[in-house]
């Protein structure tokens, strides 16, 4: 005899008490904003130091400069060569990396508490006295050349690059691949790198430091004290600030759908990206949109994935997002589908978007509400998850209780309310559609989708003539 009832899902126990990580913040004497929370999981320091030197500040013609500067920052200090610097960090078992995105260049450190002081000394050297030498630059540029050459090997990179170009246009660095192109690389000199970094160094008020450790902000400030002392010294050569180069995403001007194809003869799958410009994270509707997206394509059990994967078998997976960010980020859907189902997949995607403008159902709203509310119990367990919470708030300027803000909206949301938000922000008649796939195999069907006549583009997203 069974002593359990398998016929229906068992009831849950009492909901656990949920506490968001408490974010403490201050502005250090240098002007740098410092924010931290605690974690007892491990005796470690996790830290990210973000400088205001992202792609959006790359001068036109120097696309790729931010990521090139990030690479050059990993090439040693005035005192230590590349290898000596890495050896020194390895000796304390630290994980360290420098990377750049649209807005920032971020130095990322994770190290056991007992080595935090030494690791931060090394990171401070790298930040304030980077080598940025000719010899290293020649090598990094050579490696960048190889990376550019291989860039189009991966259709996932190609679809990103084509999308960026068509989304942002050519008047901003955001409209190029993050690593730039052959021309911009050839035009970039070591002095550009030095100036780019110096400009970021000159404005510590625009730096942000997020950290997680057992002792929270106070402990973090203790570790940052030597860096602060160095920042109090007069800067050797203050750089001029760099301007942001972006303007509104280009498709905003167009009120119809357009489809672009980058040909990959013989490809067994097509990469698809479908979407349009949407709102920045500061927009009052962004939290609601990010919640509603769960039902559309944010999780496995969403409309898009259930239809295109679990019903049709066109793909291994499909997701959508309202990207947000500091600028109007895209709403987009991304997936890889087998070649012969490229056009049917696009048709289904458009159909799902059209359907979703009518709003989420009451069941979907209940699902989203429950999912987001319950997930709070497990989302802040690991130190990395806690750092990500702090860092997201600092980066996007969200409120410390933004997950609760979103829940508050959901608590009152009805299908009609969701329809109002979605019909304002989802535009299935104004889609930018990018296909990276076998044009001979799919071209004719794509032309019959009612998305306009397919325009052939190269791997950078530029229209091909002839």
Partner 1 sequence: MQRLELREHVLSNGLRVLLHPARSAPVVSLQLCYHVGSARELPGKTGFAHLFEHLLFQGSEHVASDGHFRLITQAGGTLNGNTSFDRTHYFETLPANQLELALWLESDRMGFLLGGLDQRKLDNQRDVVRNEKRQNYELRPYAKAHEVLAAALFPSEHPYAHLPIGTHEDLISATLDDVRAFFERWYRPDNATLALGGDFDPDHALERVAAWFGELAPGGGFTRPAPQPHRALVEQRRTVEDKVQLPQVTLAWPTPELGHADETALTLLAMVLSATRASVLDRALTIDELLAKNVSCGAWHGELAGRFVITATAAAGVELARLEARIRELLANLARDGVSAAMLERMRNCAEAQFIRSLDNVSSRASALALSDVLRGAPLGFLSEYETLREQTPAHLDAVLRRYLIDQPPTVVSVVPAGASAA
Pull the structure tokens for residue 442.
Answer: 């799919």
Closer residue to partner 1 (CB): 110 or 395: 110
Residue 342 has φ and ψ, to the nearest 5°, of: -60, -55
Nearest-approach distance from CB 103 to partner 1, in angstroms: 26
Closer residue to partner 1 (CB): 8 or 453: 8
Nearest-approach distance from CB 337 to partner 1, in angstroms: 7
Nearest-approach distance from CB 5 to partner 1, in angstroms: 9
Alpha carbons 26 and 222: distance in angstroms, whole number: 13
Closer residue to partner 1 (CB): 187 or 299: 299
Vertex 104, ends 154 and 402: CA angle to 5°?
100
Nearest-approach distance from CB 133 to partner 1, in angstroms: 13
Closer residue to partner 1 (CB): 156 or 170: 156
Closer residue to partner 1 (CB): 279 or 337: 337
Closer residue to partner 1 (CB): 26 or 82: 82
Alpha carbons 151 and 97: distance in angstroms, whole number: 22
Nearest-approach distance from CB 170 to partner 1, in angstroms: 25
Nearest-approach distance from CB 65 to partner 1, in angstroms: 21
Residue 372 has φ and ψ, to the nearest 5°, of: -70, -35
- Closest by alpha carbon to 54, among 197, 152, 258? 197
Nearest-approach distance from CB 287 to partner 1, in angstroms: 17
- Closest by alpha carbon to 392, among 331, 297, 325, 293? 325
Closer residue to partner 1 (CB): 139 or 283: 139
Nearest-approach distance from CB 123 to partner 1, in angstroms: 15
Nearest-approach distance from CB 420 to partner 1, in angstroms: 24
Q: Are 212 and 394 within 8 A, CB to CB?
A: no
Closer residue to partner 1 (CB): 92 or 396: 92
Closer residue to partner 1 (CB): 281 or 307: 307
Q: Please report, to the nearest 10 degrees, the dihedral formed by the alpha carbons of residues 176, 179, 182, 186 taken in order.
A: 110
């Amino acid at each position: 005899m069974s002593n359990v009832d398998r016929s229906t899902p068992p009831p849950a126990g009492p909901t656990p008490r949920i506490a968001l990580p408490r974010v403490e913040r201050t502005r250090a004497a240098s002007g740098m904003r410092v924010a931290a929370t605690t974690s007892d999981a491990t005796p470690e320091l996790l830290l990210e130091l973000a400088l205001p030197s992202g792609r959006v500040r790359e001068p036109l013609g120097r696309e790729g400069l931010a990521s090139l500067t990030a690479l050059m920052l990993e090439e040693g200090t005035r005192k230590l060569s590349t290898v000596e610097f890495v050896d020194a960090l390895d000796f304390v078992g630290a994980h360290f990396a420098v990377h750049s995105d649209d807005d920032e260049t971020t130095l990322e450190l994770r190290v056991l508490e007992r080595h935090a002081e030494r690791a931060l000394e090394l990171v401070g050297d790298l930040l304030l006295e980077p080598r940025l030498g000719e010899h290293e630059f020649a090598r990094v540029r050579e490696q960048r050349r190889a990376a550019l050459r291989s860039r189009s090997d991966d259709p996932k990179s190609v679809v990103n690059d084509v999308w960026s170009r068509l989304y942002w246009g050519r008047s901003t660095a955001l409209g190029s691949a993050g690593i730039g192109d052959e021309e911009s690389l050839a035009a970039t000199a070591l002095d550009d790198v030095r100036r780019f970094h110096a400009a970021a160094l000159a404005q510590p008020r625009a730096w942000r430091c997020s950290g997680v450790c057992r002792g929270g902000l106070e402990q973090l400030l203790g570790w940052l004290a030597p860096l602060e002392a160095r920042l109090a010294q007069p800067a050797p050569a203050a750089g001029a600030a760099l301007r942001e180069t972006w303007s509104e995403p280009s498709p905003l001007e167009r009120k119809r759908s357009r489809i672009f194809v980058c040909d990959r003869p013989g490809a067994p799958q097509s990469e698809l990206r479908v979407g349009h410009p949407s709102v920045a994270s500061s927009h009052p509707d962004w939290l609601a949109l990010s919640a509603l997206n769960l039902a559309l394509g944010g999780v496995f059990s969403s409309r898009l994935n259930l239809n295109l994967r679990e019903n049709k078998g066109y793909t291994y997976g499909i997701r959508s997002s309202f990207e947000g960010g500091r600028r109007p980020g895209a709403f987009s859907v991304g997936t890889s589908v087998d070649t012969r189902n490229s056009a049917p997949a696009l048709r289904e995607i458009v159909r799902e978007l059209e359907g979703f403008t009518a709003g989420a159902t009451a069941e979907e709203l209940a699902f989203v509400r429950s999912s987001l509310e319950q997930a709070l119990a497990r989302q802040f367990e690991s130190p990395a998850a806690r750092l990500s919470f702090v860092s997201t708030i600092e980066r996007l300027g969200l409120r410390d209780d933004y997950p609760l803000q979103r829940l508050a909206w959901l608590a009152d949301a009805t299908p009609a309310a969701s329809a109002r938000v979605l019909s304002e922000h989802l535009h299935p008649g104004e889609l930018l559609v990018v296909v990276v796939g076998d044009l001979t195999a799919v071209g004719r069907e794509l032309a019959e989708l009612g998305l306009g006549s397919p325009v052939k583009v190269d791997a950078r997203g530029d229209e091909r003539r002839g």
